[in-house]
């Protein structure tokens, strides 16, 4: 941040930024665009979750017991929500590697940046893989379908496939996006342009992670 | 690493000028070409919507003569007319058309921030229009569930287009939302981050403010529609029950239960009400500029106008349930939504007063754009006042679903924005094409449209008061409707046919003038804002020639005492001409340049 803008903090700084000529934020265009896109995307997920809460209220049948459905047993007794816990842990870990990648990106350490982004993408891909496993288990073993399931309210399956599917698409798109950025970093595409793109991709990745926390809380725990 | 604004490193940037014809006119990344592509697609789609409206007006006015229109087609025509006009014509034209054309020029930018994404936006928009039009040719035809697409009615057998039509409609909407998001992100970031030197937010013309806030509304409101569309597609294609309660059809229960039709209404109107302002705010902005230029006066209360736009935009997100009074809600919620709805009237009325006060003692030049702009003030006051009736729960209940509602929203978000569209097209036509349109024909077009639309919508208020319900294929015989209601319907249809035909004046005028109009002066109206100061008319790719402009004043320095002319371009330094801009800010002495 330049000295001229750092001189004012808080409300005064905000007013200075917005009443300045040329630009309202001292950030690259892509970053501003990603912020605004993510707010828009927040509205999408909020609408999904509000819709879910609404049909959960209106449905006439009892809501299925999630902790039993999402339980896995490793030889012994079933452990509730164990798979989701692992998935959540992996996704949050991937946010950590992403943050490191951003840091190394700004230090122009291309090798570490490349590998850290790849690690993030690998965590993301394994998240999607586990989601595929979870879907398969629910569809094949438990007979859960979007239009009905043996446990109770049919909206359970509808919401589950819609919301986790939409989030899974976000993660998958994020993995592709990250790999694309990673290979461009490696090829030296950003040597002159600056490494803000790593942070921009990181913003998206953290957002997808944050959304998962809400889905986890609202759908699996509530 | 300090980020240097582009306006300060313009000399380092390279423009990639397309070499081929396809690069210049088809897959073009120039915002001006994209604007014209957006506008042309939108106007073409709008013509389809216009023809549909004339067809169903034929059925209402002359039921015997129009026996080729069966009830199914009537509902399909009404539905498609509504959806086309609101989304594919007005939203696309204001944001994609005028937003694309005016934002970079008025901000002193070379283009949008991401031209490639901007180009994708227009092509995705075209795909959505093609999907929409395809629904006319599938089994069952387009959906006939009304433009609000309320389930479960839209998806049940008995509603025309319940099989393929509604599916294509929802897919088309989803694709449209993708297009709007790609374009909208561009418009917002361009306004925020790509202004030229000296151009502060509070020096932007109101056109940019209107389009900017409307785009933000679009980015935050369309998600609700997207979610509603996805859920409804799931209901139709996968058999889920998001919006479908337990239903019995032809004596047999359907495979749905436990869904909430009201949820759809909430999602739809959470999009639908901001959508009204997505259409209205750009119109407010554009008309402010047209009025100011042709009245040779600065816009009255510029700051208040900006804050009113922002206030209206914010309030538009907390009034949506006033469309749902009849659906039933707790009285306290009704009270809340009625109150917020009426509060919107405050900033809106403020804008109307300011438009009128801009005209007050102005040196008014009655050019064709000014005709349309003044006509807009009339129709907007008219439509706005009936909005106060409908915003109140107790008055809304009897008037709901009557022609009073139809008259209200056509006045306020049909006729008014369309008059602004015409004002704006005539106003900026010399800049876009380099030619002048035919003034007499444009004025004739105004009188036909203005008087004609009053002849259509004024009687509809009376129809509403006597209780004629909207969306009925035919009135039939009832105890409460006098026979004269049908006479009024016939009158309205004649007026509608007249107005529809008179739009040919507009089309012929702008197409004919493209080649045959007299060469336009670069600044025929003597306007102060930046888009009229381009070195070329029409502006070429890159807009500004060698270097970006520098702005020293607001966009409304008209009839300034002591100036050489009755307008001062925004890029004239304060040392050369006086200003009445309250914000004294000279980019040449700006300290923040020191660190660049």
Lowest mean pLDDT, pick from A180-189, A190-199, B110-119, B283-292: A190-199
Q: Return the residue of A nearest to B594 by Cα.
A: A4
**pLDDT for B20:** 78
> Is the pLDDT confidence value at B204 over 70?
yes
B209 by Cβ neighbours in 10 Å (0-12 / 13-18 / 19+) ranks as: buried
Q: What is the mean pLDDT of chain A?
A: 90
Q: Is B80 helix (H, G, I), strand (E, B) or coil?
A: helix
Tell me whether A192 touches chain B (CB under 8 Å). no
Inter-residue contact B415 to B379 (CB < 8 Å): yes
Tell me whether B287 touches chain A (CB under 8 Å). no
| Nearest Cα to Cα of residue B46 among B78, B77, B97, B88 | B88
For B145, the token pair is 């569930």
- CA angle, residues A76, A77, A82, in degrees to nearest 5: 105
CB contact under 8 A, A194 and B234: no
Residue with tokens 């164990």: A82
* Partner-chain residue, chosen from A22, A55, A157, that has the shortest CB–CB distance to B260: A55
**pLDDT for A71:** 85
A89-125 pLDDT per residue, tens: 999 999 999 999 999 999 999 999 999 999 999 999 9
* Partner-chain residue, chosen from B8, B193, B242, that has the shortest CB–CB distance to A25: B193
A147-173 pLDDT per residue, tens: 989 999 999 999 999 999 999 999 999
> Is the pLDDT confidence value at B125 over 50?
yes
SS3 for chain A, per residue?
CCHHHHCCCHHHHHHHHHHCECCCCCCCHHHHHHHHHHHHHHHHHHHHHHHHHHHHHHCCCCCCCHHHHCEEECCCCEEECHHHHHHHHHHHHHHHHHHHHHHHHHCCCHHHHHHHHHHHHHHHHHHHHHHHHHHHHHHHHCCCECCECCCCCCHHHHHHHHHHHHHHHHHHHHHHHHHHHHHHHHHCCCCCCCCHHHHHHHHHHHHHHHHHHHHHHHHHHC
> Is the pLDDT confidence value at B21 over 80?
no
**Please, which pLDDT band fits residue A5 given cuts at 50, 70 and 90?**
very low
Tell me whether A32 touches chain B (CB under 8 Å). yes
> Is the pLDDT confidence value at B8 over 80?
no
**pLDDT for A7:** 53
Contact list in A for residue B241 (CB cut-off 8 A) is 55, 59, 147, 154-155, 158
Residue with tokens 């109206």: B525
**pLDDT for B12:** 60
The string of DSSP letters for B143-201 reads: --S-TT--TTGGGSTTSTTTTTHHHHHHHHHHHHHHHHHHHHHHHHHHHHH---BT-BG
CB contact under 8 A, B201 and A41: no
Report, as an integer, the average pLDDT of A30-49. Answer: 96
**pLDDT for B334:** 92
Inter-residue contact B365 to B419 (CB < 8 Å): no
Number of other residues whose CB lies within 10 A of the CB of residue B346: 12
Q: Identify the DSSP state of B567.
A: B
**pLDDT for B15:** 65
CB contact under 8 A, A51 and B197: no
| Nearest Cα to Cα of residue B150 among B269, B282, B50, B60 | B269
Give residue B164's Cα distance to chain centre: 28
Number of other residues whose CB lies within 10 A of the CB of residue B48: 19
- Mention every residue, 6+ apart, whose C-beta is less than 8 A from residue B127: B175, B179
Residues in chain B: 596
Inter-residue contact B242 to A59 (CB < 8 Å): no
Phi, psi for residue B5 in degrees, rounded to 5: -60, 150
**Please, which pLDDT band fits residue B14 given cuts at 50, 70 and 90?**
low
Q: How far is the C-alpha of B339 from the C-alpha of B435, rounded, in Å?
A: 48
* Partner-chain residue, chosen from A44, A106, A196, that has the shortest CB–CB distance to B223: A44
Report, as an integer, the average pLDDT of B512-533. Answer: 94
Q: What torsion do the CA atoms of B397, B401, B402, B406 make, to the nearest 10 degrees?
A: 120
**pLDDT for A10:** 78
| Largest Cα span, chain A | 66
Q: Return the residue of B nearest to A54 by Cα.
A: B263
CB contact under 8 A, B240 and A1: no
Q: How far is the C-alpha of B489 from the C-alpha of B58, rounded, in Å?
A: 10
B474-to-B71, B79, B505 alpha-carbon distances in Å: 9, 16, 32
- The percentage of chain B sitting over the pLDDT mark of 70, rounded to a whole number, equals 96
Residue with tokens 């309202």: A24
Phi, psi for residue B576 in degrees, rounded to 5: -90, -35
Contact list in B for residue A27 (CB cut-off 8 A) is 3, 193
CB contact under 8 A, B595 and A41: no
| Nearest Cα to Cα of residue B264 among A54, A160, A57 | A54
Number of other residues whose CB lies within 10 A of the CB of residue B134: 15
Q: Is B249 helix (H, G, I), strand (E, B) or coil?
A: strand
Tell me whether A26 touches chain B (CB under 8 Å). yes
Q: Taking CB atoms and an 8 Å cut-off, how many pairs form between chains A and B?
A: 163
What H or E segment, with its residue span, contains residue B43?
helix B31-61
Q: Identify the DSSP state of B6.
A: G
Q: How far is the C-alpha of B491 from the C-alpha of B459, rounded, in Å?
A: 9
Report, as an integer, the average pLDDT of B381-407. Answer: 94
| Nearest Cα to Cα of residue B62 among B500, B501, B496 | B496
Q: How far is the C-alpha of B224 from the C-alpha of B173, rounded, in Å?
A: 12
Helix axes B439-466, B368-391, angle to 10 degrees: 10
* Architecture in CATH for domain A28-221: Up-down Bundle (1.20)
Q: Return the residue of B nearest to A20 by Cα.
A: B200
Contact list in A for residue B234 (CB cut-off 8 A) is 146, 158, 162
B32-76 pLDDT per residue, tens: 999 999 999 999 999 999 999 999 999 999 988 888 899 999 999
Find residue B253's DSSP bridge partners: B248
CB contact under 8 A, A59 and B258: yes
Find residue A21's DSSP bridge partners: B200
**Exposure string (b/e) for A42-64, b if CB count within 10 Å is 16 or more?**
bbbbebbbbbbebbbebbeeeeb
Instruction: Among B215, B253, B263, B275, pick the best mutation site for testing chain A contact (most A Cβ within 10 A).
Output: B263
B51-to-B78, B187, B245, B497 alpha-carbon distances in Å: 11, 32, 36, 9
**pLDDT for B5:** 67
A47-86 pLDDT per residue, tens: 999 999 999 999 999 999 888 888 888 877 888 888 999 9
What H or E segment, with its residue span, contains residue B252?
strand B252-253
A109-to-A101, A176, A195, B27, B119 alpha-carbon distances in Å: 9, 22, 10, 38, 35
User: Which one has a higher pLDDT value, B475 or A132?
Assistant: A132
Lowest mean pLDDT, pick from B21-25, B126-130, B182-186, B430-434: B21-25
Q: Name the A residues in 64-103 with CB < 8 Å from any B CB.
A: none
**pLDDT for B228:** 97
- CA angle, residues B409, B412, B415, in degrees to nearest 5: 100
Give first-to-last CA distance, chain B, whole Å. Answer: 12
Contact list in A for residue B180 (CB cut-off 8 A) is none
Contact list in B for residue A32 (CB cut-off 8 A) is 189, 192-193
For B575, the token pair is 């040392």
| Nearest Cα to Cα of residue A169 among A48, A2, A32 | A48
Phi, psi for residue A148 in degrees, rounded to 5: 175, 165
Lowest mean pLDDT, pick from B20-24, B126-130, B317-321, B406-410: B20-24
Contact list in B for residue A19 (CB cut-off 8 A) is 200-202
| Nearest Cα to Cα of residue B521 among B434, B437, B439 | B434
Tell me whether A47 touches chain B (CB under 8 Å). yes
> Is the pLDDT confidence value at B382 over 70?
yes
Helix axes B331-359, B302-315, angle to 10 degrees: 160
Phi, psi for residue B482 in degrees, rounded to 5: -70, 155
**pLDDT for B4:** 67
Tell me whether B590 touches chain A (CB under 8 Å). yes
Inter-residue contact B326 to B400 (CB < 8 Å): yes
Tell me whether A4 touches chain B (CB under 8 Å). yes
**Please, which pLDDT band fits residue B1 given cuts at 50, 70 and 90?**
very low
**Please, which pLDDT band fits residue B594 given cuts at 50, 70 and 90?**
very low
Q: How far is the C-alpha of B135 from the C-alpha of B71, rounded, in Å?
A: 18
Instruction: Among A21, A108, A155, pick the best mutation site for testing chain B contact (most B Cβ within 10 A).
Output: A21
Tell me whether A155 touches chain B (CB under 8 Å). yes
B133-to-B42, B97, B169, B183, B568 alpha-carbon distances in Å: 13, 20, 9, 22, 47
* Partner-chain residue, chosen from A1, A26, A43, that has the shortest CB–CB distance to B220: A43
Sequence ranges of the domains in chain A:
28-221
**pLDDT for B10:** 66
Q: Name the B residues in 214-253 with CB < 8 Å from any A CB.
A: 219-224, 226-228, 230-231, 234, 238-242, 245-246
CB contact under 8 A, B188 and A36: yes
Sign of CA dihedral B254, B257, B262, B265: negative
Lowest mean pLDDT, pick from A7-16, A21-30, B157-166: A7-16
Q: Name the B residues in 263-282 with CB < 8 Å from any A CB.
A: 263, 266-267, 270
Number of other residues whose CB lies within 10 A of the CB of residue B19: 8
Instruction: Among B222, B231, B264, pick the best mutation site for testing chain A contact (most A Cβ within 10 A).
Output: B231
- Mention every residue, 6+ apart, whose C-beta is less than 8 A from residue B578: B560, B561, B562, B563
Sequence ranges of the domains in chain B:
31-199, 538-596
């Amino acid at each position: 941040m330049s000295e001229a803008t750092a001189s004012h903090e808080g409300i005064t700084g905000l007013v200075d930024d917005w009443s300045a000529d040329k630009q309202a934020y001292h950030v690259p265009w892509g970053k501003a665009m990603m912020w605004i896109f993510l707010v828009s995307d927040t509205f999408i997920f909020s609408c999904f979750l509000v819709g879910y809460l609404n049909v959960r209220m209106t449905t006439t049948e009892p809501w299925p017991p999630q902790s039993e459905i999402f339980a896995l047993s490793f030889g012994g007794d079933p452990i509730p929500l164990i798979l989701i816990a692992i998935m959540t842990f992996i996704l949050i870990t991937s946010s950590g590697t992403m943050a490191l990648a951003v840091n190394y990106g700004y230090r122009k350490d291309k090798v570490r940046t490349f590998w850290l982004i790849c690690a993030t993408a690998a965590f993301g891909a394994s998240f999607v893989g586990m989601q595929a496993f979870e879907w398969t288990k629910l569809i094949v073993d438990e007979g859960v379908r979007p239009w009905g399931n043996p446990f109770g309210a049919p909206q359970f399956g509808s919401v589950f496939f819609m919301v986790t599917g939409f989030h899974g698409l976000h993660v998958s798109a994020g993995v592709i996006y990250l790999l694309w950025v990673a290979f461009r970093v490696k090829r030296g595409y950003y040597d002159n342009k600056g490494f803000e793109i790593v942070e921009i991709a990181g913003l998206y990745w953290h957002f997808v992670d944050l959304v998962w926390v809400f889905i986890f809380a609202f759908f699996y725990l509530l | 690493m300090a980020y240097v604004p582009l306006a300060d490193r313009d000399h380092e940037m390279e423009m990639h000028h397309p070499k081929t014809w396809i690069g210049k006119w088809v897959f073009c990344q120039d915002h001006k070409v994209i604007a014209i592509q957006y506008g042309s697609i939108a106007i073409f789609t709008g013509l389809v919507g216009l023809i549909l409206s004339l067809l169903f007006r034929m059925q209402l006015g002359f039921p015997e003569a129009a026996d080729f229109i069966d009830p199914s087609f009537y509902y399909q025509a009404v539905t498609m007319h509504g959806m086309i006009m609101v989304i594919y014509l007005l939203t696309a034209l204001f944001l994609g058309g005028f937003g694309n054309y005016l934002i970079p020029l008025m901000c002193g930018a070379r283009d949008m921030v991401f031209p490639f994404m901007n180009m994708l936006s227009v092509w995705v928009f075209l795909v959505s229009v093609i999907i929409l039009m395809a629904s006319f040719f599938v089994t069952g035809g387009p959906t006939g569930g009304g433009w609000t697409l309320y389930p479960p009615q839209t998806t049940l057998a008995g509603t025309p287009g319940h099989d393929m039509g509604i599916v294509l409609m929802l897919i088309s909407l989803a694709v449209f939302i993708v297009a709007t998001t790609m374009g909208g992100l561009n418009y917002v970031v361009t306004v925020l981050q790509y202004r030229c030197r000296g151009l502060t937010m509070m020096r932007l013309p109101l056109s940019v403010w209107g389009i900017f806030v409307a785009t933000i509304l679009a980015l935050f409101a369309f998600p609700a529609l997207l979610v509603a569309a996805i859920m409804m597609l799931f209901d139709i294609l996968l058999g889920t029950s998001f919006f479908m309660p337990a239903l019995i059809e032809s004596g047999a229960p359907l495979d749905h239960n436990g869904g909430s039709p009201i949820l759809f209404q909430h999602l739809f109107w959470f999009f639908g009400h901001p959508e009204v302002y997505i259409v209205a705010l750009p119109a407010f902005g554009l008309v402010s500029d047209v009025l100011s230029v042709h009245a040779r006066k600065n816009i009255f209360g510029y700051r208040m106008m900006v804050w009113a736009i922002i206030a209206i935009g914010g309030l538009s997100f907390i009034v949506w349930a006033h469309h749902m009074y009849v659906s039933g809600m707790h009285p306290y919620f009704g009270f809340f939504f009625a109150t917020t709805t009426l509060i919107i009237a405050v900033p809106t009325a403020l804008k109307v007063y300011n438009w009128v006060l801009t005209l007050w003692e102005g040196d008014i030049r009655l050019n064709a754009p000014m005709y349309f702009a003044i006509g807009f003030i009339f129709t907007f006051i008219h439509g706005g006042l009936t909005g106060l009736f409908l915003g109140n729960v107790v008055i809304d209940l009897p008037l709901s679903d009557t022609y009073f509602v139809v008259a209200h929203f056509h006045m306020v978000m049909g006729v008014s924005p369309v008059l602004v569209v015409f004002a704006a097209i005539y106003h900026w036509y010399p800049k876009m094409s380099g030619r002048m349109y035919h003034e007499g024909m444009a004025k004739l077009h105004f009188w036909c449209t203005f008087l004609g639309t009053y002849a259509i919508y004024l009687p509809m208020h009376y129809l509403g008061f006597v209780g004629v319900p909207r969306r009925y294929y035919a009135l039939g015989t009832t105890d409460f409707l006098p026979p004269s209601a049908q006479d009024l319907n016939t009158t309205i249809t004649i007026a509608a046919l007249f107005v529809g035909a008179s739009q040919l004046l507009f089309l012929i005028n702008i197409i004919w003038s493209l080649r045959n109009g007299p060469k336009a002066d670069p600044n025929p109206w003597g306007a102060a804002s930046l888009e009229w100061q381009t070195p070329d008319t029409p502006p070429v790719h890159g807009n500004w020639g060698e270097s970006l402009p520098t702005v020293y004043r607001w966009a409304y320095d008209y009839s300034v005492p002591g100036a050489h002319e009755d307008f001062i371009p925004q890029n004239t330094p304060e040392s050369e001409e006086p200003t009445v801009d309250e914000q004294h800010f000279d980019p040449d002495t700006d300290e923040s340049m020191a660190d660049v």
